[in-house]
Structure 1
Amino acid sequence: MDSPYVNLNIENKVGYIEFFHPNRNSMPSEVLKKIEKTIIDAGTNKAIKVIVLKSGGDRTFCAGASFNEVISIENEEAGLQFFSGFANVINAMRKCPKLIIGRVQGKTVGGGVGIVAATDYCLATKYASIKLSELSIGIGPFVIEPAVSRRIGKTAMSQMTIDAETFFSSEFAKDKGLYAEVFETQEELDEAVKILAEKLTTYNPEALTEMKKVFWENTAHWDALLIERAKISGELVLSKFTKKTLKRFR
């Protein structure tokens, strides 16, 4: 069985950050911490002008929170710590001085949708449908909501949250502004990501950094907000309802 990893490879001044987990690229705390640290490191690495965030494998971009870890949460402190992992990754992406391009090859669920929404520009394949399943298991997409609403609007975010068991198509995601473009194949996606990222490396890096600040205006309060939201999820995951629901996924 393949082991989880987070890698950084630099090619033509583009920093490719790739994460992988054998369970459909789900995200336990360890993977979240590594992604956060890798984004921070890439942000200060002078050899990197633009960052691409991608996941390993051909099918699922990210299955969201690691169910095994969520099931094992026994107290509020552990709950806060786990859900803060997503808060910390989104905030690292937001504060990174370099543009982050998302490369989404397949389905994305829950926290993964939040991470896609926190990229500065995102390209995907037609297989990259999205789902916010949190309400159906007894919690809610609290931590990722600011990132998702900022990208697709509160109305679409509410629709996805309430219709928690439905995968919304890549075309829906494109229409709402989550994806800039959708491609037929993974090969076409990779080609487009490479062309875009390498083109951006030729632009004035100071202009890109200043532009990124503009993209993320009025989000300075997210450092505190996302941790407050993590606390809500951390408490809900201990409720009788959620514990009972999660047992079905053991």
Structure 2
Amino acid sequence: MSDNGSLYVSVENKIATVTFEHPASNSFPSELLQKLTDELNRISSNSEVNVVVLQSEGTAFCAGASFDELLSITDFETGKKFFSGFANVINAMRKCSKIIIGKIQGKAVGGGVGLIAACDFAFAYQDAGIKLSEIAIGIGPFVIEPAVSRKIGKIAMSEMTLQPNLWQTADWAKEKGLYVDIFDSQNEVTEATLKLAGKLASYNPEALAEIKKIFWQGTENWDELLYERASISGKLVLSDFTKEALSQFKK
């Protein structure tokens, strides 16, 4: 695994398994975001794939944006481009012609919660708590908000956003609709994911593609909206408040 993280894709029995990893709790620098976007776009047109399983390595699912890269941003265009990386991934997930199952083995923060919300279906381990910490560092979950609110509703989204230091439990996430089910062991999460993926892979791929379009109806404006949100984050990340908060967090 490189300092910029790694992405692996395997295809077997019509199931594409996409696995990402990064040494900093599976956080995402720009390069890894772009790799994930590109792979999802390729998979979307791959006739050998009927369903996607999205997963990560290690004990955490995803820590969101790379703090090292956030600290390195010194101008608006660079900031907007970085946050557009999450917009690209979410848009690739919603427009992918394949159903995406999230296999969530651990905690998720910020952009990681956005990734889960952009999955069509998610199974999780009982310790897979979630948190939106962005407000505490002077920015906000602007890019991922449409995806998260679509899954759990505005009220739950507000509850998470305004309590940036509070971990919500996997039970809470299931109750709100982010997770379809949670399990007491990692093996059970894997078994449930593979069982569902196997069933979906046996169904008519054209029917799955059409039903996915229906699932995501009403999000067509995200092609513009998520990049407008990236601009907000790109501006705020340059603030003295955010620079100081990020530095303190790193310490």
Q: What secondary structure, in the 3-state scheme, does the structure 1 residue paired with 2:249 have? A: coil
Q: Deviations over 1:3-39 (max 9, x none)?
A: 5211110121100000000110000001100000011
The aligned residue for residue 22 of structure 1 is 23
Instruction: Deviation per CA, 1:25-54: give whole Å up to 9, x if none.
Output: 000001100000011111111111100100
> Residues 120-179 of structure 1: CA distance to partner in whole angstroms, max 9, x if unpaired?
001000011000000001100000000000000000000000011011000000000000
Q: CA deviation at 1:2?
A: 5.8
CA distance in 2, matches of 1:25, 1:218: 31
Q: Does 1:79 align with 2:70?
A: no
| TM-score, structure 1 as length reference | 0.98
Q: Matched residue of 1:123: which SS?
A: strand
Residue type of the alignment partner of 2:32: V
Q: Which residue of 1 aligns with 2:70?
A: 70
Matched with 1:8 is 9
Q: Identity of paired residues, percent?
A: 55
What secondary structure does 1:219 align onto?
coil
Q: Which residue of 1 aligns with 2:39?
A: 38
Aligned residues: 249
- Cα distance in structure 2, aligned partners of 1:204 and 1:17: 21
Answering whether residue 180 of structure 2 is matched by residue 180 of structure 1, we say yes
Task: Give the match for residue 102 of structure 2.
Answer: 102
Post-superposition offset of 1:195: 0.5
- Once the two structures are overlaid, the 10-residue window that deviates more, 227-236 or 39-48, is 39-48
Instruction: State the partner residue of 1:112.
Output: 112
Give structure 1 stretches of 5+ with no counterpart: none
Aligned to 2:62, the other structure's residue is in SS state coil
Cα distance in 2 for partners of 1:236, 1:165 equals: 19
Q: Establish whether residue 169 from structure 1 lines up as the match of residue 169 from structure 2.
A: yes
TM-score scaled by structure 2?
A: 0.98
Matched, 1:245 2:206: no
3-state SS of 2:97 partner: coil
1:140 matched residue in structure 2: 140
1:206, distance to aligned residue in structure 2 (A): 1.1
The one-letter amino acid paired with 1:31 is L
What is the distance in 1 between the residues matched to 2:152 and 2:146? 10
Local SS of the residue matching 1:74: coil
- TM-superposed CA distance for 1:86, in Å, is 0.3
The secondary structure found in structure 2 opposite 1:249 is helix
Structure 2 gap segments, 5+ residues each: none
For residues 127 and 45 of structure 1, what CA distance do their matches in structure 2 show?
Answer: 34
- Partner residue in 2 for 1:123: 123
Q: Distance in 2 between matches of 1:39 and 1:18?
A: 12
In structure 2, distance between residues paired with 1:51 and 1:247: 37
In the TM superposition, residue 249 of structure 1 has moved relative to its aligned partner by 2.8
Report the counterpart of residue 50 of structure 1 in structure 2: 51
Tell me how far apart the structure 2 counterparts of residues 62 and 80 of structure 1 sit (CA, whole Å): 21
Question: Aligned partner of 2:37: which letter?
Answer: E
1:216 offset after TM fit, Å? 0.2
**After TM superposition, what 4+ stretches of structure 1 lie above 2 angstroms from structure 2?**
none
